[in-house]
Structure 1
Amino acid sequence: MSDLRVRALKLLTRREHSRAELKAKLAGAAESEEQLAAVLDTLQAQNLLSDHRFARQRVVARAGRYGNARLKQELRQTGVGDDDIAAALPEGGDEGERCQSVWAKKFGQLPQTPEERAKQMRFLQYRGFSGDAIRRVMRGASQ
């Protein structure tokens, strides 16, 4: 069990992990499912493993490039629960301002044709920004 704990701690010293991520990474080294669960429970009890902290850190790191929908999707894929996601999203700041920043960095100039406008909107949608944030940016860009 101590070998499994050492592996877990080595992974956690590099970066935060969600419980599901850490479980997947350690599954091959564990002798049994119970042993793995016990190590993960111990790490959580000692506050060395926290989905909430992982979600906050991930949102802060990626919010400058992505919208709330994309951040939610990424966090769900790493096994973070909806409560932790909802608590972490405000850490990213205002989605409208982030959307404006991403748009300005990528395009920086007003769309001249409907095709350009559609291209810019698709880009922002792919990045996970809400329709409301995109419309606000496009309205501001077309004025």
Structure 2
Amino acid sequence: MAEDVGSAPGSRKRKQRELTPLQRALALLVRREHSRKELARKLAERGIESEAASAAIGRLTGDGWQSDARFAEMLVRTRVANNQGPVRIRAELGSHGLDRDAIEAAMAAFEGDWRQVAQDLACRRFGPDFVTDLVRRRKAADFLYRRGFDGETVRFVLHGGGPED
């Protein structure tokens, strides 16, 4: 009895079976949520034709496996947990091919207070008394703008979380 050279004793070679576009799309979705646009791009990268990818995505959407609304809400939650502000989150949602209504619905689903998120972030990063030091205050403002907080929120934080002037 001859054995294959280089194979371990007792091991069997598996037959590689080509996955259908639907199976590939589902395999991506079971790992995490994806937008329709993102899923189509990833399938195209794997050599799936656009018509087959569209059909697979349409079926998964119809069956409830893929949802742009669910993806958007997940993205908002994870980005807030990573201390990103609403301006940056909206831009990222737009880059995933979501329309204005889906973006607004996802942002409205966030139940927190953007001012409080920004205040907590600035205090953790620059210390609770950063508003009294002009250099740290400027750095905090730049940091919050880069994180995606709007001007009104940044002014609120720089005024110590009190009433605005």
Gapped regions of structure 2 (runs ≥ 5): 1-18
Distance 1:116 1:142 in 2: 18
Structure 2 match to 1:137: 157
Inter-partner Cα distance in structure 2 for 1:56 and 1:24: 20
Residue ranges of structure 1 left out of the alignment (5+ in a row): none
Q: Does 1:5 align with 2:31?
A: no
The answer to whether residue 152 in structure 2 is matched with residue 102 in structure 1 is no
Higher share in helix:
1
Partners of 2:119 and 2:23 lie apart in 1 by 44
Contact 1:18–1:51, Cα closer than 8 Å, also in 2: yes
CA distance in 1, matches of 2:35, 2:48: 21
Percentage of identical aligned residues: 36
So what's the TM-score if we normalise by structure 2?
0.78
Q: Name the CA distance, whole Å, in 1 between partners of 2:46 and 2:130.
A: 54
1:67 maps to 2:67:
no
Deviation at 1:141?
Answer: 6.0
Aligned length: 143
Correspondence 1:78-117 to 2 at 5 A? 78-92=96-110, 93-108=112-127, 109-117=129-137
Distance across 2 between alignment mates of 1:142 and 1:110: 14
Residues 10 and 125 of structure 1: CA distance in aligned 2, closer, same or farther (over 3 Å): same
Residue matched to 1:32: 49
What's the Cα RMSD here? 2.1
For residues 122 and 114 of structure 2, what CA distance do their matches in structure 1 show?
Answer: 12
Q: CA deviation at 1:133?
A: 0.8
**Cα distance between partner residues in 1 of 2:53 and 2:125:** 45
> Following the alignment from structure 2 to structure 1, what is the Cα–Cα distance between the partners of residues 61 and 153?
37
| TM-score, normalising length: structure 1 | 0.90
Offset at 1:112?
4.4
